[in-house]
Structure 1
Amino acid sequence: MSKFKKAGFAVLALLLLAVSVMSGCSDGSAKPGTAAPAANDAAKGKKKLKIGVSFETLQTSYWVVGFNAIKKDIQDRGYDVVEAIADGDSNRQLEQVKNFIAQKVDGIIIVPKDEKTIIPMIKAANDAKIPIVLYNRPPAKTDAVSTTVVADNKKITAETVQYMVDQARKQGGKYKAMILIGDLGDQNGIARRDGFLEVVEKNKDIIDVVAKVPTEWNQEKALAGVTNALQANPDINFVFSSTDFLFPSLVSALKAANKYKKIGEPGHVILGGFDGDDTAYKMLKDNYLDADGVQDVYFESKSAVQAVVDMLDGKKVQEFIYDPGFVIHQGNLKEKEAQMWGSSVK
Structure 2
Amino acid sequence: MKTTRRQFTIGALTAAAAGTMPMLVQAQNGKTIAVLFDGLYSEFWVAGMQIIKDEMKKRGYNVLEAISDKDDNKQFEQVRAMIARKVDGIIIVQTDSKAVIPAIRAANRANIPMVHFNRPPAETDAYSVAVVADNQTIAREAVLHSCRTAKQAGGKYKAAILIGNLGDPNAIQRRDGFQEAVSQFSDTIEVVARIPTEWNADKAFAGLTNALQANPDINFVFTSSDFLIPQVTQALKSANKWAPIGAPNHVVFTGFDGFPTAYELMEQKYMDACGVQNLFYETKLAIDAILQMQEGKKPERILLDPGFAITQENMMEKRGEMWGYALLNQKKSG
Does TM, normalized by the shorter one, top 0.5? yes
Report the CA distance between 1:72 and its aligned residue. Answer: 1.3
Moved more, 88-97 or 289-298: 88-97
Q: Would you say 1:312 and 2:294 are equivalent positions?
A: yes
For 1:298 and 1:322, locate their aligned partners in 2 and report how far apart those are by CA, in whole Å. Answer: 13
Q: Would you say 1:62 and 2:44 are equivalent positions?
A: yes
Note the alpha carbon deviations across 1:150-193, whole angstroms, 9 max, x for none: 11000000101110110011011111110000111110001000
For 1:287 and 1:136, locate their aligned partners in 2 and report how far apart those are by CA, in whole Å. Answer: 29
For 1:270 and 1:105, locate their aligned partners in 2 and report how far apart those are by CA, in whole Å. Answer: 48
The match for 2:178 among 174, 180, 196 is 196
Task: Give the match for residue 118 of structure 1.
Answer: 100
Task: Give the match for residue 231 of structure 1.
Answer: 213
Task: Give the match for residue 12 of structure 1.
Answer: none
Task: Give the match for residue 95 of structure 1.
Answer: 77
SS in 1 for 2:98: coil
Partner AA of 2:210 in structure 1: N
Task: Give the match for residue 24 of structure 1.
Answer: none
How many corresponding residue pairs? 301
Partner AA of 2:251 in structure 1: V
Report the CA distance between 1:316 and its aligned residue. Answer: 3.0
For 1:94 and 1:333, locate their aligned partners in 2 and report how far apart those are by CA, in whole Å. Answer: 41
Report the CA distance between 1:340 and its aligned residue. Answer: 1.1
Q: Check conservation: 1:159, 1:327, Cα contact below 8 A.
A: yes
Task: Give the match for residue 256 of structure 1.
Answer: 238
Q: Would you say 1:163 and 2:145 are equivalent positions?
A: yes
Partner AA of 1:323 in structure 2: D
Report the CA distance between 1:264 and its aligned residue. Answer: 0.4
Q: Check conservation: 1:114, 1:137, Cα contact below 8 A.
A: no
Report the CA distance between 1:47 and its aligned residue. Answer: 6.5
Q: Would you say 1:127 and 2:127 are equivalent positions?
A: no
Partner AA of 1:134 in structure 2: H
Q: Check conservation: 1:154, 1:194, Cα contact below 8 A.
A: yes
Report the CA distance between 1:122 and its aligned residue. Answer: 1.1
Aligned pairs for 1:305-344 within 5 A: 305-344=287-326
Structure with larger Rg: 1
Partner AA of 1:121 in structure 2: A
TM-score by length of 1: 0.85
Report the CA distance between 1:77 and its aligned residue. Answer: 1.3
What are structure 1's unaligned runs of at least 5 residues?
1-45
For 1:88 and 1:159, locate their aligned partners in 2 and report how far apart those are by CA, in whole Å. Answer: 31
Task: Give the match for residue 51 of structure 1.
Answer: 33
Q: Which has the higher contact order (CA 8 A, sep 6+)?
A: 2
For 1:94 and 1:315, locate their aligned partners in 2 and report how far apart those are by CA, in whole Å. Answer: 25
Task: Give the match for residue 54 of structure 2.
Answer: 72
Q: Would you say 1:147 and 2:129 are equivalent positions?
A: yes
SS in 1 for 2:41: coil
TM-score by length of 2: 0.88
Note the alpha carbon deviations across 1:311-335, whole angstroms, 9 max, x for none: 1012231111111111111111111
SS in 2 for 1:316: coil
Partner AA of 2:151 in structure 1: R
Report the CA distance between 1:206 and its aligned residue. Answer: 1.2
Note the alpha carbon deviations across 1:233-282, whole angstroms, 9 max, x for none: 11001110000000100110000000011000111000001000111011
Partner AA of 2:165 in structure 1: D
Moved more, 235-244 or 80-89: 80-89
SS in 2 for 1:279: helix
For 1:185 and 1:332, locate their aligned partners in 2 and report how far apart those are by CA, in whole Å. Answer: 33
What are structure 2's unaligned runs of at least 5 residues?
1-27
Q: Check conservation: 2:29, 2:61, Cα contact below 8 A.
A: no
Partner AA of 2:142 in structure 1: T
SS in 2 for 1:217: coil
Partner AA of 1:59 in structure 2: Y
Which of structure 1's runs of 4+ aligned residues deviate more than 6 A?
none
Q: Would you say 1:240 and 2:222 are equivalent positions?
A: yes
Partner AA of 1:308 in structure 2: I
Report the CA distance between 1:114 and its aligned residue. Answer: 2.3
- Identical positions, percent: 54
For 2:49 and 2:94, locate their aligned partners in 1 and report how far apart those are by CA, in whole Å. Answer: 13
For 2:143 and 2:96, locate their aligned partners in 1 and report how far apart those are by CA, in whole Å. Answer: 25
Task: Give the match for residue 42 of structure 1.
Answer: none
Partner AA of 2:54 in structure 1: K
For 1:242 and 1:162, locate their aligned partners in 2 and report how far apart those are by CA, in whole Å. Answer: 14
Task: Give the match for residue 195 of structure 2.
Answer: 213
For 1:184 and 1:260, locate their aligned partners in 2 and report how far apart those are by CA, in whole Å. Answer: 28
